[in-house]
Structure 1
Amino acid sequence: MQIVAKVFDIEISMRDVERECLRMKTDINKESLHLALERLIDRCLIYANAKESGFDVSDAEYDNALLDLLDQDEPLGLTSEAIQDLSADELEYLLKRLLIIRKYMQSISSDHEHVTSQKLREFYDEQKDIFMRSKCVRCSHILIRHGNNAEQRIQEIRSQIKNADDFNHISISCSDCPSHAACGDLGWFHKGKMISEIDEVAFSLEIGEISLPFKSSYGYHILMLNDRREASHIPFDDIKESLYERLMLIEKEFVLSKHIAELREQFADKISILNMDIIA
């Protein structure tokens, strides 16, 4: 077994590096091997520091984690083939190491949770223009699919429509769109959700206006604009929970990255690269 690096007394083999590439879901090449080795070094530093700090896993915690592992499609982020290549001892070591690292990382992040309500509100106010609801419309739709004198039929249908009641009635009886059962109601949509031909017409209409017939690859269409919502800021109360989760994630990633950088500096002499080809 080729050992390519050591962190304290933890050996990292070429097999470990290749396995990490599989976990990263990337092709095995110089760049991915280098990145995989860096990730493994970081993980070993965290693990060693966690063990030194007294973190461990009980038999019950391990047994429960092992049961959870059996229900996962890709346990430990590995394919079933890669898992089968692991010995029982390797699987136990990797799983226990993962659990210890998770405990340690949780303790670090919980010690640095600074996302207060005030900070949340300040972030929202500073970045308010990011939190926008795009302009959207609600339309009803009549479709006549290509064939069987479709163009003539759509023109005749349009000539019969004088108002919304006419539109709704004719949509139910004549439209080839699945929405015909709901009087052609397409619901609310923003630009880009529908085909470009519908988008262009829908966003050019006034409320209550009924379009002239127009053509797409699906057939011939008539639209009626029922309502419109202009672009608007998302209220703070509507977004604060998801915003809190997002900021907490950013905070945790920042704290972890900073901690790893500190560990690398503190224990630089404990990291030995034995195969320089990987980082060349």
Structure 2
Amino acid sequence: MQIIAKVFEFEISEQELERECAKVSLAEREKCLEGALKRLIDRCLLLYKAMESGIKISDTEYENAIWELLDEEDPLKLWSTSLEQLTPQEMEKLLKQRLMINKYINSIFPQNIPITNAKIKEFYDEQKEYFLKPEQVRCSHILIRNDNEEAKAKAEQIRREIHNADDFTYFCQKYSDCPSNNVCGDLGWFPRGKMIPEIEEVAFSLKVGEISQPFLSPYGYHILMKTGQSEKEYIPFEDIKDSLYARLQQIEKEYKLLRHLAELRKQYASHIV
């Protein structure tokens, strides 16, 4: 096993580095390896500080962490391509080290970093374009599968018998080949770019309550009824203030951690070889 770096008594092997970039394309490999080595060195520095601080992981903490992983992840993914060569003992060691690092980070940074309402509002105003809800429409449809003349004639005949929303609902439930027929053909709300072009073009050209003539898509012939429209608008500040507060707290923690790591790399430069 080739050792490519050492931080105090912690050795970083070529195998560890390869695991970090196991799923990266060849084109990105060199850049990934450079970043991975830096991350592994940072991890060793944090682990050293955790051990220096006397932090330990109890069996209960370890078992709880395992259950949390099983609750949050597909168990099969725990043994991903990048980790499949680890033995159970190596996996346990790696997880305990990560738990120690997390425990250390939580011990040096406050769990709730104060963020003023003014700071949150400033962030909202600066990033406002990200909180723009696009124009959306809601439609229901009747689908007659196939693109032959028989399907076209059937769609046209159905359309001639539809005079209002109640008619549309009746014929949708009776004749539509789309599984949405059990919810009156409802396609839900969608913005531009999320629906197939044929439906999008008709949906955004109709008025609310208007019913289209039959038109063809790769799925067959559709009859569309527009049931709603919302203009583009910014998400109100009050609606997302709490989530922005949580995001800003996370940003502050990440910034403090980066500063802390820079200080550790400088302080312990002679122990990184």
Q: Is the 8 A contact 1:113 1:248 kept in 2?
A: yes
In 2: Cα distance, 1:141 partner to 1:68 partner: 43
TM-score w.r.t. length of structure 2:
0.83
- Which residue of 1 is the match for residue 127 of structure 2? 127
TM-score w.r.t. length of structure 1:
0.81
- Which residue of 1 is the match for residue 41 of structure 2? 41
AA paired with 1:200? E
SS in 1 for 2:109: helix
Superposed displacement of residue 64, structure 1: 4.7
- Which residue of 2 is the match for residue 278 of structure 1? none
- Which residue of 2 is the match for residue 215 of structure 1? 216
Decide whether aligned partners of structure 1 residues 230 and 100 sit closer, same or farther in structure 2, where only a CA change above 3 A counts.
same
AA paired with 1:206? K
Decide whether aligned partners of structure 1 residues 30 and 223 sit closer, same or farther in structure 2, where only a CA change above 3 A counts.
closer
- Which residue of 2 is the match for residue 237 of structure 1? 238
Superposed displacement of residue 27, structure 1: 5.9
Q: Is the 8 A contact 1:158 1:222 kept in 2?
A: yes
> Does residue 1:173 correspond to 2:180, yes or no?
no
- Which residue of 1 is the match for residue 54 of structure 2? 54
Decide whether aligned partners of structure 1 residues 110 and 171 sit closer, same or farther in structure 2, where only a CA change above 3 A counts.
same
- Which residue of 2 is the match for residue 250 of structure 1? 251
Q: Which runs of 5+ in 1 are unaligned?
A: 273-280
Q: Deviations over 1:46-103 (max 9, x none)?
A: 112232333333454345546767885455977563222x6x4x55543432222111
- Which residue of 2 is the match for residue 275 of structure 1? none
The CA RMSD measured in Å over matched residues stands at 2.9
Q: Is the 8 A contact 1:120 1:243 kept in 2?
A: yes
- Which residue of 1 is the match for residue 229 of structure 2? 228
In 1: Cα distance, 2:145 partner to 2:62 partner: 61
AA paired with 2:24? T
AA paired with 1:82? Q
- Which residue of 2 is the match for residue 18 of structure 1? 18
Correspondence 1:94-133 to 2 at 5 A: 94-110=94-110, 113-133=113-133
Q: Which runs of 5+ in 2 are unaligned?
A: none
Decide whether aligned partners of structure 1 residues 91 and 194 sit closer, same or farther in structure 2, where only a CA change above 3 A counts.
closer
- Which residue of 2 is the match for residue 277 of structure 1? none
In 1: Cα distance, 2:96 partner to 2:222 partner: 61
In 1: Cα distance, 2:135 partner to 2:20 partner: 44
AA paired with 1:49? K
Decide whether aligned partners of structure 1 residues 118 and 76 sit closer, same or farther in structure 2, where only a CA change above 3 A counts.
farther
Seq. identity, %: 53
Decide whether aligned partners of structure 1 residues 213 and 66 sit closer, same or farther in structure 2, where only a CA change above 3 A counts.
closer
In 2: Cα distance, 1:16 partner to 1:80 partner: 10
SS in 2 for 1:225: strand
Equivalent pairs counted in the alignment come to 267
- Which residue of 2 is the match for residue 185 of structure 1? 186
- Which residue of 2 is the match for residue 81 of structure 1? 84
In 2: Cα distance, 1:222 partner to 1:64 partner: 54
Q: Is the 8 A contact 1:112 1:255 kept in 2?
A: no
In 1: Cα distance, 2:271 partner to 2:78 partner: 30
Superposed displacement of residue 207, structure 1: 1.3
In 1: Cα distance, 2:9 partner to 2:149 partner: 79
Decide whether aligned partners of structure 1 residues 148 and 114 sit closer, same or farther in structure 2, where only a CA change above 3 A counts.
same
In 2: Cα distance, 1:229 partner to 1:120 partner: 27
Decide whether aligned partners of structure 1 residues 77 and 38 sit closer, same or farther in structure 2, where only a CA change above 3 A counts.
farther
- Which residue of 2 is the match for residue 276 of structure 1? none
Q: Is the 8 A contact 2:20 2:82 kept in 1?
A: no
In 1: Cα distance, 2:253 partner to 2:145 partner: 54
In 1: Cα distance, 2:169 partner to 2:78 partner: 54
